[in-house]
A and B are shown apart, each in its own frame.
Chain A
Amino acid sequence: MGGRTRASWTSRPLRLRLPADLGRTAAAIVLVGAAYYLGARLGLSLSLVERNVTPLWPPSGIALAAFLVLGRSMWPAVALAALAVNLPISAGPVPALVTAAGNTLAPLVAAIVLERIGFRRQLDSRRDALAIVFLGALASMTISATIGATTLVWSKAIGIDDLAGAWAVWWTGDAMGVLAIAPFLLCIPLFWELEPWPAARWLEAGVILVLTTVLALWTASSGLALLFLVLPCLGWASWRLQLRGAAPAALMASLIATWSATHELGPFAGTSLLEQMLTLQAFNATVALTSFFLAALVTERMRFARALMSAATDLEERVNTRTAQLTATNDRLRREIHQRHETQQQLTLEEARTRREHQIAETLQRNLLPDRMPDIPGVDVAARYVPATADLHVGGDWYDVIQLRGSLIGLVIGDVAGHGLQAAAAMAQLRMAVRAYAVRDPSPIAVMNGLHELVRELPMAEMVTLLYVLYDPDTGTIRFTNAGHPPALLIDDEHTRYLEGGLAPPLGVLVQHDYAEATHQLRPGATLLLYTDGLVEERTLSIQDGLDRLLAEASGVGQADLDALCDQVLSTLRESGEVADDIALVALRPLVLAGAPLSLDVPADARMLFQVRHALGRWLRESGVRRQDAGELAIACGEACSNVVRHAYGASPGDMQLEARLVDGTVELTVRDHGHWRSPTGRGGGLGLTLIRGLTDSVDVDTGPEGTTILMRRNVVLGNEQ
């Protein structure tokens, strides 16, 4: 029991810590009992009617305060003191005992109820003020009033008719006792429990108490009903000093008013008992409620203010902490950004270098590839080079068109594995090597053998694929050898197809290889298309699909002009717009000469003589002119062209134009220049004119300021001689 009590004490930090020893407890009991008894004597002395009607019963307040502050173990003191008080004024020992029990029970119940609802005896919130007024005073004191009044009737001290009045007086007295006395007693421990008052506070409290006392005494003794004048003083006390200032002042005001009523002084003079009771109780209630509520409100407000300030301080601290953290994070971020910026700059430099290399490779490649197709009369040639859009992917693709001895044409398409400057440089070497070998011996096998040896002997790490085609315009024959390259595409009306055969591994792969060549006919009007793998290789397509697509696409555009054909093939096959790998392509098409006039416009250069007479030879052959006629016309034409080359322009460059028509079995050859005709001198020149006249049926020479035109006519025999 004692342990539990101690435990309950420690769990309530504001409960007074009494020493556990019995001696101190006994002393407390004695003190409480004495206080109760003295309070009772004071109460009785304030009776409105001697020993009967007491408007203020201090013991109930003392008992409640004792239970709340010192603990409910003080009940024996209260019970004994109450019995001691009641014995002399009761009808006998039993009624006194019963009344004492009621007097003990009422504050005990009040204390229990208040503790249950978490009442705080500091009275520092509205809730506590409401609790002590309504539960501690008004409600609980019905117990003592009921028991006391009933005992009076039962002991025949009063008649049953007086029960209600006695009950009311008892109840108000007890309640007022609680309201006036308990807060005062409860505030006493606060003086050492809360922060101590400075001297100024003590002075202020003293001034308020004195002022209240003086005002109360004056108003309570004067005839004017000015009791309420003390209320501002109580307000002041509550506002400035809260419970510790208000409770003593309120107690003083209540005591003085009660004393005044007892002696029927001032406002209480000449009034009935009921009026006195009503006025006094109303005044006391007002005083109590005003002081405690106001004090509680102010305390509450101050606590809120302190909590707010503490929260603000806490918030400020947290803000400061967070700001410090953020600043640190910010610094770290700034350092990281700086580092990233530096890394980025390095990357940009790297990127610039890569891009520069890409540009060099591309420039190199573009400059190494033929910028202009050779002018080959009767043959169309077109080529395209599309560099990879991605950096570093400019590679070793190349194409070449080589005019070889006789009227032979070498077509080359090749691909050096790898990308960038190295591949472009290797490509450049190989391109010249192909030219060199082809000039020495244009046959595909000879060229391949030479290249194979070169790639084997030279430290050329990259793998090379190459397709070399030798075209003879006179016979319309193509001979080729394919070293690991995608096959050439023959675009022909009747059967567009890939040209198989002549296959060999990529250059330099095998130590020894016996190259073979394949032969095909290239019909006039048909197109031979050579390309690199970039055209048919796509990430989303297999090579076979790419080849099939190219075949289908090319079949549809076989009739197009050769440049248009190249563009068309490139645009439809590279729809994505992004070129993953380089694309090189070269296309060759012998023009269809038969059935239409032949028209050539070439530089007046001795090297063109061969081309011109071969183009004419093809035209005559394809037009069905007998070989004998064709051969003699070729000499006549050659003589006319030689004249232009030698005499028309002197040292300055110029053009010569040849037109050939077949009209009703007669070939009309026109050779035109825009220079100044000079009479041929010397044996050769004169011989030339002799040949022209002798090999044709008629010759017209028209010389003017615009140049010279020679028109030669010869009847020919038509028919297929094969």
Chain B
Amino acid sequence: MTEYAVADAGTTNGVHAVRLCGEVDLTNATDVREAISRIASPDAAVIVIDLTETAYLDSSGIAMLFHLAERLTQRRQTLRIVVPPNSPLRAALDLTTLPQTIPIQPTLE
């Protein structure tokens, strides 16, 4: 896995989620994207990326999410993101066009 980010996948209440723990910057954004691609179920219609445990995500990470969304779209899968309201990532994500492309929900539910 990457140096300071860990991704693991699981299904909760029928929802297939990839939990991303740690930090994402330009040093590991590509690795994180590939890791998620690898572990995300190719059969699930909806892939949820859980950023609850993600401590840091900068523009490289946001770009990575755009790329990921594009790729999943090619695979006819839908990407959603979980970001809690008090997360420092929230403001950053809101500054971009990401919320218009990828639905953001506060919890996994």
Seen from chain A, the residues whose Cβ lies within 8 Å of a Cβ on chain B are 405-406, 606-607, 609-610, 613, 627-628, 630-632, 634-635, 638-639, 642, 645-646, 683-685, 687-688, 690-691, 694-695
Inter-chain CA distance A685–B27, complex, in Å, is: 14
Please give the distance in Å from B64's CB to the nearest CB on chain A. 9
Task: Give the top 3 A-B pairs by smallest Cβ distance, nearest first.
Answer: A631-B88, A694-B95, A687-B59
Please give the distance in Å from A147's CB to the nearest CB on chain B. 150
Interface flags, B1-43, vs A, CB<8A=1, else 0:
0011000000000000000001101110000000000000000
B23: chain A residues within 8 A (beta carbon): 406, 610
Contact of B66 among A613, A628, A645, A683 (CB under 8 A): A683
Q: Are A695 and B91 neighbours in the complex by a CB distance under 8 Å?
A: yes
The closest CB in chain B to the CB of A628 belongs to: B88
**Count of A-B contacts judged by CB separation below 8 Å:** 78
Q: Are A684 and B22 neighbours in the complex by a CB distance under 8 Å?
A: no
**23 pairs across A/B with beta carbons < 8 Å?**
A405-B3, A406-B4, A606-B26, A607-B27, A609-B25, A613-B25, A628-B88, A630-B88, A631-B87, A631-B88, A632-B91, A632-B92, A634-B56, A635-B88, A639-B59, A645-B26, A683-B63, A687-B59, A691-B59, A691-B92, A694-B95, A695-B91, A695-B92
Please give the distance in Å from B74's CB to the nearest CB on chain A. 18
A610: chain B residues within 8 A (beta carbon): 3-4, 23, 25, 27
The closest CB in chain B to the CB of A645 belongs to: B26
Q: Are A691 and B58 neighbours in the complex by a CB distance under 8 Å?
A: yes
Please give the distance in Å from B1's CB to the nearest CB on chain A. 9
Q: Are A642 and B25 neighbours in the complex by a CB distance under 8 Å?
A: yes
The closest CB in chain B to the CB of A694 belongs to: B95
The closest CB in chain B to the CB of A680 belongs to: B59
Contact of A628 among B22, B59, B86, B96 (CB under 8 A): B86
Contact of A609 among B27, B63, B89, B96 (CB under 8 A): B27
The closest CB in chain B to the CB of A474 belongs to: B55
B95: chain A residues within 8 A (beta carbon): 690-691, 694-695
Q: Are A642 and B88 neighbours in the complex by a CB distance under 8 Å?
A: no
The closest CB in chain B to the CB of A643 belongs to: B59
Seen from chain B, the residues whose Cβ lies within 8 Å of a Cβ on chain A are 3-4, 22-23, 25-27, 55-60, 62-63, 66, 86-89, 91-92, 95-96
The closest CB in chain B to the CB of A683 belongs to: B63
Contacts A683-B63, A694-B91: A646 and B4 contacting too (C-beta < 8 A)? no
Q: Are B96 and A642 neighbours in the complex by a CB distance under 8 Å?
A: no
B92: chain A residues within 8 A (beta carbon): 632, 635, 691, 694-695
B22: chain A residues within 8 A (beta carbon): 406
6 other contacts beyond A632-B92, A645-B26, A684-B60, with CB at 8 A cut-off? Answer: A405-B4, A606-B26, A610-B25, A632-B91, A642-B60, A687-B63
A632: chain B residues within 8 A (beta carbon): 88, 91-92
The closest CB in chain B to the CB of A642 belongs to: B26
Please give the distance in Å from B48's CB to the nearest CB on chain A. 22
- The CB with the most chain A CB atoms within 10 A, among B59, B66, B95, is that of B59
Inter-chain CA distance A691–B88, complex, in Å, is: 12
Inter-chain CA distance A688–B58, complex, in Å, is: 8
B89: chain A residues within 8 A (beta carbon): 631, 635
Q: Are A635 and B58 neighbours in the complex by a CB distance under 8 Å?
A: yes
Contact of B56 among A613, A683, A685 (CB under 8 A): A613
Contacts A606-B27, A609-B27: A639 and B58 contacting too (C-beta < 8 A)? yes
Please give the distance in Å from B43's CB to the nearest CB on chain A. 30
The closest CB in chain B to the CB of A629 belongs to: B88
Contact of B96 among A627, A634, A690 (CB under 8 A): A690
Contact of A687 among B3, B55, B62 (CB under 8 A): B62
A607: chain B residues within 8 A (beta carbon): 27
Q: Are B88 and A634 neighbours in the complex by a CB distance under 8 Å?
A: yes
